[in-house]
Amino acid sequence: MAKAKRESANGRSASSRSDAIALLKADHREVEGWFEQFEKARSASRKRDLAEKICTALKVQTTVEEELFYPAFLEATQEEDLHHEAAIEHDGAKKLIVDIEASGPDDEYFDARVSVLSEMIKHHVHEEEMKDGMFAKARQSDMDLPALGEQMASRKAELMNRMAGRGARSERRSAGAALGTRE
């Protein structure tokens, strides 16, 4: 793979375009904002909506990282310890996401689950973004971050569309059940 900071055919450096790391950092900031909004939310419906956004975004990001970014990172850097720690952190977050999605604001542990997930994600993001973390090591490697970013953006869009479709089907089933009909 070509060095991530090399000049592209049109003369712009790869770092001046959106790349894999820029996409992941943008996702991190978005989810951090939703966690902050959740902490301030008072209504059950607002908390439910934010928790759904957080869980969906994290499921998509973990899938994209695990399918595309992490394998490319491991191949380019041979940094097994960083890779394995990130994978284990994802496993813990995914288990908590399942619990959050299976409950709701009326569950006495709902807020605590979202709060713990927030802390887990803050730690994970810090580990990835720190000075000698995964993202820094990826930039120092020969990973083609712009090309990987394109693949990741495409996969993210595919996953988001698929999840939006599931949500719509679930809403139709709920509405049908309320009306005594089937989808």
Q: Domain coordinates of the chain in residue numbers?
A: 18-179
- 70-127 tens-digit pLDDT: 999 999 999 999 999 999 999 999 999 999 999 999 999 999 999 999 999 999 999 9
The distance from CA 158 to its chain's CA centroid, rounded to whole angstroms, is 14
| Per-residue CA distances from 3 to 7, 94, 140, 142, 150 (Å) | 9, 33, 8, 4, 16
pLDDT for 58 beyond 60? yes
Question: Which residue did the predictor score with more confidence, 45 or 178?
Answer: 45
CATH fit for domain 18-179, picks 1.10.3470, 1.10.1420, 1.10.150, 1.20.120: 1.20.120
Helix (H, G, I), strand (E, B) or coil at 130: coil
